[in-house]
Amino acid sequence: MKYSTSFFVAFLLLVSTVSIAQKRNQSNTINTNDYASFGAKFEATTRLSKDKMFKKYKSLKKGDTLSVKFETKIVSVCKKKGCWMKLDLGNGETAFVKFKDYGFFVPLNAEGSNVIVSGKAFVDVVSVEELKHYAKDGGKPQAEINKINKPEITYSFLADGVLIKK
């Protein structure tokens, strides 16, 4: 009788532990049918919020990289090809995203969409010439482009995969 009671208690503990783990995974699971996929396919179950990602960026130094997935909104997209995008990190901060090996692009009208990216985060220094190029591709007026006169430290991201909410 003692063994059957012990077995029953152990069984209940196991079932409740599995149930809790399943609920945690379900709360972080997305329906991939609701997303358009670009680049490499990836599992989006473990991903950071924009706030947690911003904290990660703040801890990086030039030369550091971090493999990560995070979820946020698209602030802007290259208006010529969709070859880069800026993502919201909160507090007016953005991450500048390029795509691995220039191997894929995102839709030109993706601005404002929810997005999950997978890849490498790093801190970069962008030259004046490159900043002007991105401003031109982003459809900025020439007067604004002419005001760019110093390099900029940016939160950068090299995405190997992107999921954009349909």
DSSP string covering 52-89, please? HHHHHHHH--TT-EEEEEEEEEEEEE-SSS--EEEEEE
User: What's the pLDDT score for residue 32?
Assistant: 79
DSSP bridge partners of 84:
98
pTM over 0.85: no
52 and 22 in a common domain: no
60 and 6 in a common domain: no
User: What's the pLDDT score for residue 78?
Assistant: 95
User: What's the pLDDT score for residue 4?
Assistant: 58
* Residue type present at position 154: T
124 and 57 in a common domain: yes
127 and 71 in a common domain: yes
**What residue ranges of the chain have pLDDT lower than 50?**
10, 12-15, 17-27
Tokens linked to 161: 């995969």
15: containing domain: 1-30
137 and 79 in a common domain: yes
15 and 87 in a common domain: no
Q: What are phi and psi of 3, to 5 degrees?
A: -65, -40
96 and 14 in a common domain: no
User: What's the pLDDT score for residue 48?
Assistant: 97
46 and 6 in a common domain: no
Cα dihedral 74, 102, 149, 108 sign: negative
Q: What are phi and psi of 107, to 5 degrees?
A: -60, 145
134 and 87 in a common domain: yes
Q: How many domains does the chain have?
A: 2
Q: How far is Cα 92 from Cα 122, in angstroms, rounded to an integer?
A: 18
116 and 46 in a common domain: yes
What is the CATH classification number for the domain harbouring 144? 2.40.50
